Amino acid sequence: MQLLNGNEVSKQIRSTIRTEVEKLTQNGQRVPHLAAILVGEDGASQTYVAAKAKDCAEVGFESTVIRLDAGISEQELLAQIESINHNPLIDGLIVQLPLPSHINTQTVTQAIDWRKDVDGFHPMNVGLMFKGLPCYLPATPMGVVLLLEHYQIDCTGKHCVVVGRSDIVGKPMSALMLQKNATVTVCHSKTQNIEAVIRSADIVIAAVGIPEYIKPNMVKQGAVVVDVGITRVADATAKSGFRLKGDVAFEPVAQQTSWITPVPGGVGPMTRVGLLLNTLRAAQQHQNKAAH
């Protein structure tokens, strides 16, 4: 068993991003600027947004976090988005999800200018992705693909089973694996004989959000296992009061795999670098357009 080391690979990619930022600066251009809107006080969302701002600072990007009260109206939120859409000094915009229940997530996602949609959630980017055209890919599936590519995991003709069908991970992941010439199956909570389906996979991508869902009896000998799950599980011995658990029972499953991602240190850091890559691309595209 070998580790798909997201910490290591993301470190290398961050270093290439820093070099690209230096090039922009040397050409007299702006550094990339990411804006993140956070509505309300959700603990996990606050942690994620803070991490995104820190990641930006580390590679030399500018970032702006806009914190809005949980009670803000949808209209007020849309007005904020519109203002950023028209701000030529901001390259990328994300609205951290989930949003409070009185706000329609689809309306908000579609209000973001798709040319600044570095989350890749806008239907325009989703459509471009499904057609295999240049677009902003959602960060997690993009990070998984970059990780597989780094370790030269050959996907051609392999049976890839994606477990989970979310808009953010499962669905786009299946499209990207199809583009890599895998034979793709998407499993979900209604799938019959799900264990047998997963057991037939050469590549398992688990994105269900159920801690340690994937057990050793569900994994074929020699399979590649990618664990997208990160669930906070209460742990009184941890300083934060919780521990992060993946969708895969790592210790017993790892023994059967050829390659596996750890949690933490696997997909998580690759997701973070995916957002940075999209923001860099947004900045490069906006500034090239502005120059012409």
- Report in angstroms the alpha-carbon separations of 213 from 52, 91, 189, 249: 28, 38, 12, 7
Q: Of 53, 80, 108, whose CA–CA distance to 279 is shortest?
A: 53
Nearer to ligand GUN, 161 or 207 (CB): 207
Nearer to ligand GUN, 21 or 49 (CB): 49
Catalytic residue among 55, 91, 117, 119: 119
119 is an active site residue: yes
**Local structure of 22: helix, strand or coil:** helix
Q: How near is the Cβ of 11 to ligand GUN at its closest, in Å?
A: 20
Q: How near is the Cβ of 168 to ligand GUN at its closest, in Å?
A: 6
Nearer to ligand GUN, 80 or 96 (CB): 96
Which residues make Cβ contacts (< 8 Å) with residue 231, sequence separation at least 6? Answer: 209, 210, 211, 244, 245, 246, 247
Q: How far, in Å, CA of 244 to CA of 211, rounded?
A: 9
Catalytic residue among 52, 116, 158, 171: 52
Q: How near is the Cβ of 258 to ligand GUN at its closest, in Å?
A: 28
Catalytic residue among 55, 80, 91, 96: 96
Question: Is 211 in contact with 231 (CB distance < 8 Å)?
Answer: yes
Nearer to ligand GUN, 271 or 287 (CB): 271
96 is an active site residue: yes
Q: How near is the Cβ of 214 to ligand GUN at its closest, in Å?
A: 21
By the criterion CB under 6 A, which residues form the site for ligand GUN?
94-97, 119, 139, 168
> Per the structure block, which two tokens stand in for 122?
């806008």
DSSP letter for each residue of 183-196: EEEEE-TT-TTHHH
Q: Which residues are catalytic?
A: 52, 96, 119
